[in-house]
Amino acid sequence: MSNLPDQANCEREERLEHVWANLPGWGALAAVNHTSVGLRFMATGMVFFLIGGVLAMLIRTQLALPEQEIIGASVYNQIFTMHGTVMMFLFAIPVLEGAAMYLVPKMLGTRDLVFPRLSALGYYCYLFGGVIILSSLVFEIAPDAGWFMYTPLSSHTYSPGPGSDFWLLGITFVEISAISAGVELVVSILRTRANGMSLNKMPIFCWYILAMALMIVFGFPPLILGSVLLELERAAGFVFFETVGGGDPLLWQHLFWLFGHPEVYIIFLPAAGIVSTLIPVFARHPLVGYRWIVLGIITMGFISFGLWVHHMFTVGIPQMAQAFFSVASMLVAIPTAIQIFAWLATLWQGKVVYHLPMLWIIGFLVVFVCGGLTGVMLALVPFNWQVHDTHFVVAHMHYVLVGGMLFPLIAGFYYWLPHVSGRMPSDKMGRWGFWLFFGGFNVTFLLMHLTGLLGMPRRIYTYEAGLGWDWLNLVSSIGGFIMAIGVAVIIVDIVLHFRFGRRAEQNPWCADTLEWAIPMPVNAYNFSSLPNITTRHPMWENPELIESIAAGEHGLAEVQNVRRDIYGSDAVTGKVREVVHLPTNSWLPLLTAVVLAVVCISLLIKAYPVALAAALLALVLVLRWGWDNCAHPRAAPVREDDPVDPPLHSRTCDGPGLWGMVVSLMANGTLYVSLLFGWFYLWTAAPQWSSPEQGRVALIPMAMSGVLLSLAVMIYRNAVAGLRKGQADGLTLKLWAAAALGLVHWCVLIWILQTSELQPTELAHDAVLMVALYYLLLHSGLAVIFTILQALRVKLGYVGPELPYEPVVIQPFWVYTFGVFWLSFAAFLLLPMAWGA
Amino acid sequence: MLGWFSLVLVAVIMLWLYAIRRSPGATSEARARQVQKRWIIWGGLVLPITSMAVILAFGIPAGHRMLPLPLDEGEVLRINVTAHQWWWEVYYPESDITLKDELHIPAGVPLDLHLTSADVIHSFWVPRLGGKLDMLPGRTNVLRLHADEPGTYRGQCAEFCGTQHAHMKFTVTAHSPEDYQTWLRQEASDE
């Protein structure tokens, strides 16, 4: 492309702005752009952080002196439960997701995330879910069973009020946003990098986010399943966690910590990613041991799924298991130490320039290493028996979470502020904020280790005088308030800087990553043209990129047919493979989230018919949303001047949609495996497990129904195989046939469910079986609906041999449905028979 | 353990601060690589692995000693403790004594507490006598307790169990073996 004259370039950029900008006024609510959505995530998260902080202040006020009655026991229990819940689920994870959503496309050299409407849906689910959960606090009916909701305390018998329902439903609602962000980030990082950005040239931050996103995909489903089961137990009386009938309260603990431990690393990894990004910039030296760190990130991800039991050392599990999980827990220290020493080596080799973000990084190091070391101590079983559930653990986890997450996050805030505002933060006030916060934090929590060693349990709303805890608690409370002042100073600093900050020059910290090639403050389309990448440090080795990108000298400089276009690239090499056309602003995510909020609220007030109707409406909205894809006139209808090399993604067989489907099915599969785990766990470990004398489900009809499903999948696969070869013979017929067979299979399933004699409120065996059957029913039903819509789309010309994209995306869903059906058949029906015989 | 960890903490922080202040000077590419590798291998692999090996070498036997294994000779005294919201029911199966919120034991003798719960999950904990163990409905966990000296010890519930969790306390009185026998006789005659 030649150098355009200034005037023409301005007009070109105006056209880009026109296509990529949000709608004006209230229309901003329809925004799907990752910059807007990411910033909204972070701003909302900060508000929730302040609310969680106020709750913490209330806790410290109550505990400041012994035998105080400022807050009664029941309100105190609500407050500490909500403090944990808000900080974990409404602050830590969403803020980091927001930061990742904002930064990742900019670092990858592209214009948006790959499923923009999903970003918006995730945001609204998060916002509404958060508001629903917090509303319980206003009515003083907040959950009060602790943020990990141990049954049977959280069950209907011991928590009859709606508090636990708020937690279970609200958190599950919020989790939609986590899963959607997880799927979206994985696919975006793997499939939309700048041309030539192979995996080993990817900024280290994106490696961390890739790991985090994958961990979300595998980590959240067990909690979602647990929440669904517990809510079913509370609302419908199903037996899962009650000992009577064959349930087990420990199943909840396993499901919760299967999620809960990886969650700590889901929080830590992106924060560590910020550290790994900032240190090389301020050391003026490339990150030492890039490969080591990538390896460390991956090992960390794997190990973190193998040590959930260390939260359960005191429930009385076998010694061998304890030794195993104890060693596994300590192993995490290795990848952590590798990162710490790689950062150290980077500082060692480089010449450090000292700025405010560095101060927070040093704060991170001090606090986090301390928390890590107490963590290794906790992994030691006998020590754990002593300090488990004391204030020692409270101190430890605040060191790890505040040290490992909040310090790097604030470092990151200061570092990327100029990117958003175009202004520099103030050094002086920032320092005040840091020292107040850092000092206050250590005053609060360092001594709290001792409080715990002296035997003060956690979660008590008051304590007697004279046990040696008095002065420790008072000092902790004073420290807490100093910390709060620190937060206030930081907020004032950040707010003022938007008005008074010194204007930032381009790339103010002399960073090496691509987000700094974007003009500041940031625009709607990020890059005016999409560059080729040949190095891991593009801004250090090719600083002229700033000018050449702005001048439109690289790819996709011109808007085509008012489409939002980005490049889709190869997952490993980063070579451009297709042009991905993204959807524009849409109200559907907001509408869908509103309807889902209606589902959530009507479940809370037990208006089940309303909930069902709203759920169906949500499904319709989602299908409506999927309708505007591919060759639909509002997406990318077939035109004479469609690009051929690279082609539009909707003309290929391997676009991001397929990747999105596969990653979603990985999350879904984890949910299913968690259910299988629950089945086998209860079967083998529940103290009063019993299975009915004879099978509750008619075996022969079930097998026949499975044969019908298998036939449907075969026909569907045959249709897709034809499409891939470019043949359209009988495509519509095959799709209709698959849908019809699937429908008959679905009806047989319904009949089986109707005629079965399941007693889910009596037996855990039947309750699990029933959930499994409904799970199969849901999947078969969805597969049929998708296929019918595909058949209609073939007729309308949105799908066909030139446009094979969508049927290819749906194929894994059919295969998955087929897989879980036969797996369920074997695990839930055949295996118990074989065992009994 | 605490000393070693504090040392590691201080050392790592000092190293970082030194690394930040230090000016690197000109080194060859090969030399730089060597230095980097050394940091990562010694700090990232050797340090944590040896530390863990040492801790486990001490920790696993220590944990093993705390298990309710059968004694070399004689029977272990058995006491059943059932937790309720929010009180403790103590039962001596051998002498059919029931107590509330207090536990009397002989000092210098190991004994087994059979722990269970009548409602939600609680956790039995006497900080000065040893580790804690959860009390779960439908299950029985066995805690080996050993009071070296006669005296009174404070115990409390360590797993959050509802509104009055903070007040779910009990006392343990450890008697010398003779006093314990006297106490037993007294209690039995009172029943």
Q: Is the distance from CB of A312 to CB of A148 less than 8 angstroms?
A: no
Least confident of A202-216, A226-240, A313-327: A313-327
Give the Cβ contact number of residue A430 at 10 Å. Answer: 22
Query: What is the rounded distance in angstroms from the CA atom of residue A610 to the CA atom of residue A620?
Result: 15
Using CB atoms within 10 A of its CB, is residue A373 exposed (0-12), middle (13-18) or buried (19+)? buried
> Which of B21, B47, B139, B171 is the best substitution to test chain A (most A C-beta atoms within 10 A)?
B139
Domains and CATH numbers, chain A: 1-270+536-680 (1.20.210.10), 690-837 (1.20.120.80)
- Tokens encoding A583: 């959807």
> Which of A348, A364, A400 is the best substitution to test chain B (most B C-beta atoms within 10 A)?
A348
pLDDT of residue A747: 97
Nearest CA in chain B to A459: B160
From the list A77, A351, A384, the residue facing B24 with the nearest CB is A351
Among A25, A40, A174, A120, smallest CA distance to A586 is for A120
Nearest CA in chain B to A390: B158
Identify residue A698 by its one-letter amino acid code.
Answer: A
Greater pLDDT, A20 or B17: A20
From the list B8, B15, B62, the residue facing A382 with the nearest CB is B62
Query: What is the rounded distance in angstroms from the CA atom of residue A736 to the CA atom of residue A715?
Result: 10
Share of chain A above pLDDT 90, in %: 83
Among A360, A375, A449, smallest CA distance to A413 is for A360
> Which of A312, A341, A681 is the best substitution to test chain B (most B C-beta atoms within 10 A)?
A341
- Cβ pair A288:B39 closer than 8 A: yes
Query: What is the rounded distance in angstroms from the CA atom of residue A165 to the CA atom of residue A142?
Result: 9
Nearest CA in chain A to B135: A315
For chain B, give percent helix, strand, coil, nearest 5.
40, 30, 30
- Tokens encoding A447: 């001594």
**A380 vs B contacts (CB less than 8 Å):** 1, 55-56, 59, 63
Flag whether pLDDT at A619 surpasses 80.
yes
**A327 vs B contacts (CB less than 8 Å):** 52, 56
**B86 vs A contacts (CB less than 8 Å):** none
- Tokens encoding A432: 């005040």
Phi, psi of A582 (to 5 degrees): -100, 150
Q: How many Cα atoms sit within 13 Å of A58 on the Cβ side?
A: 21
Task: Give how far B27 is from chain A: nearest CA, Å.
Answer: 9
Confidence tier at A520 by pLDDT (50, 70, 90): confident
**B2 vs A contacts (CB less than 8 Å):** 377
Flag whether pLDDT at A693 surpasses 90.
no
- Cβ pair A345:B63 closer than 8 A: no
Distances (CA, A) of A770 to A688, A764, A782, A821: 19, 10, 18, 14
Least confident of A111-115, A345-349, A566-570, A612-616: A345-349
Segments of A90-231 assigned E as strands: none
Q: Is the distance from CB of A650 to CB of A631 less than 8 angstroms?
A: yes
pLDDT tens-digit map of A79-102: 999 999 999 999 999 999 999 999
Over residues A388-405, the mean pLDDT reads 94
Flag whether pLDDT at A309 surpasses 70.
yes
> Which of A303, A344, A438, A449 is the best substitution to test chain B (most B C-beta atoms within 10 A)?
A344
- Tokens encoding A301: 């991800």
Q: Is the distance from CB of A272 to CB of A315 less than 8 angstroms?
A: no
pLDDT of residue A836: 67
Task: Give how far B190 is from chain A: nearest CA, Å.
Answer: 32
Identify residue A478 by its one-letter amino acid code.
Answer: I
For chain A, give percent helix, strand, coil, nearest 5.
70, 5, 25
**B51 vs A contacts (CB less than 8 Å):** 333, 376
> Which of A85, A239, A380 is the best substitution to test chain B (most B C-beta atoms within 10 A)?
A380
Give the Cβ contact number of residue A458 at 10 Å. Answer: 22
Q: Is the distance from CB of A670 to CB of A676 less than 8 angstroms?
A: no
Q: Is the distance from CB of A394 to CB of A460 less than 8 angstroms?
A: no
Cα dihedral B76→B78→B83→B87 (10° resolution): -110
| Sign of the torsion formed by the C-alpha atoms of A705, A711, A714 and A720 | negative
From the list A248, A285, A388, the residue facing B132 with the nearest CB is A388
Least confident of A297-306, A394-403, A620-629, B47-56: B47-56
Per-position b or e across A78-97, b if 16+ CB within 10 A of its CB: bbbbbbbbbbbbbbbbbbbb
Confidence tier at A2 by pLDDT (50, 70, 90): very low
Query: What is the rounded distance in angstroms from the CA atom of residue B113 to the CA atom of residue B117?
Result: 13
Task: Give how far B11 is from chain A: nearest CA, Å.
Answer: 11
- Cβ pair B166:A688 closer than 8 A: no
- Cβ pair A380:B23 closer than 8 A: no
pLDDT of residue A563: 92
Q: Is the distance from CB of A377 to CB of A291 less than 8 angstroms?
A: no
pLDDT tens-digit map of A28-81: 999 999 999 999 999 999 999 999 999 999 999 999 999 998 998 999 999 999
Nearest CA in chain B to A386: B131
Q: How many Cα atoms sit within 13 Å of A174 on the Cβ side?
A: 30
> Which of A239, A349, A458 is the best substitution to test chain B (most B C-beta atoms within 10 A)?
A349
pLDDT tens-digit map of A192-204: 999 999 999 999 9
Average pLDDT, chain B: 88
Among A436, A449, A424, A519, smallest CA distance to A479 is for A436
A-B C-beta contacts closer than 8 Å: 219
Query: What is the rounded distance in angstroms from the CA atom of residue A717 to the CA atom of residue B36?
Result: 53
Task: Give how far B134 is from chain A: nearest CA, Å.
Answer: 5
Flag whether pLDDT at A398 surpasses 90.
yes
Query: What is the rounded distance in angstroms from the CA atom of residue A263 to the CA atom of residue A254?
Result: 14
Domain ranges of chain B: 2-21+28-65, 77-190
Contacts of B147 (CB under 8 A, 6+ apart): B105, B107, B108, B129, B153, B172, B174
The structure tokens 């701003």 sit at: A43
From the list B12, B56, B131, the residue facing A340 with the nearest CB is B12
Flag whether pLDDT at A158 surpasses 50.
yes
Task: Give how far A160 is from chain B: nearest CA, Å.
Answer: 12
Nearest CA in chain A to B126: A455
Flag whether pLDDT at A217 surpasses 70.
yes
Q: State yes or no: ipTM above 0.85.
A: yes
Looking at A686-804, list the stretches that DSSP marks H as alpha helix, in order from N- to C-terminal side. 699-724, 731-755, 764-796
| Sign of the torsion formed by the C-alpha atoms of A726, A727, A733 and A734 | negative
- Cβ pair A340:B44 closer than 8 A: yes
Nearest CA in chain B to A455: B127
- Cβ pair A339:B44 closer than 8 A: yes
Least confident of A175-179, A379-383, A462-466: A379-383
Task: Give how far A474 is from chain B: nearest CA, Å.
Answer: 18
| Sign of the torsion formed by the C-alpha atoms of A386, A392, A394 and A400 | negative
**B124 vs A contacts (CB less than 8 Å):** none
Share of chain A above pLDDT 70, in %: 99
Q: Is the distance from CB of A760 to CB of A766 less than 8 angstroms?
A: yes
| Sign of the torsion formed by the C-alpha atoms of A711, A713, A716 and A718 | negative
Flag whether pLDDT at A415 surpasses 60.
yes
- Cβ pair B35:A349 closer than 8 A: yes
From the list A153, A292, A373, the residue facing B5 with the nearest CB is A373
From the list A338, A348, A687, the residue facing B19 with the nearest CB is A348
**B40 vs A contacts (CB less than 8 Å):** 288-289, 292, 338, 341-342, 345
Identify residue B150 by its one-letter amino acid code.
Answer: P
Give the Cβ contact number of residue A792 at 10 Å. Answer: 15
Confidence tier at B137 by pLDDT (50, 70, 90): very high
Q: Is the distance from CB of B83 to CB of B102 less than 8 angstroms?
A: no
- Cβ pair A338:B45 closer than 8 A: yes
Query: What is the rounded distance in angstroms from the CA atom of residue A510 to the CA atom of residue A503?
Result: 15
The DSSP 8-state label assigned to residue A517 in this structure reads G
pLDDT of residue A210: 97
Nearest CA in chain B to A346: B36
Nearest CA in chain A to B155: A455
Does domain B77-190 fall under CATH 2.60.40.420? My reply is: yes
Among A338, A337, A109, smallest CA distance to A202 is for A109
Q: What does the angle CA B27 – CA B28 – CA B34 come to, to the nearest 5 degrees?
A: 90
pLDDT of residue B1: 67
Cα A390 versus chain centre, distance:
30
pLDDT tens-digit map of A352-388: 998 999 999 999 999 998 998 888 888 888 888 888 9
- Cβ pair A344:B16 closer than 8 A: yes
Flag whether pLDDT at A1 surpasses 60.
no
Contacts of A136 (CB under 8 A, 6+ apart): A142, A143, A162, A163, A166, A170
Nearest CA in chain B to A344: B16
**A146 vs B contacts (CB less than 8 Å):** 160
Phi, psi of B148 (to 5 degrees): -75, -40
pLDDT tens-digit map of A795-812: 999 999 889 999 999 999
Flag whether pLDDT at A4 surpasses 60.
no
- Cβ pair A373:B9 closer than 8 A: yes
Q: Is the distance from CB of A828 to CB of A769 less than 8 angstroms?
A: yes
Beta pairing partners, A564? A582
Flag whether pLDDT at A234 surpasses 80.
yes
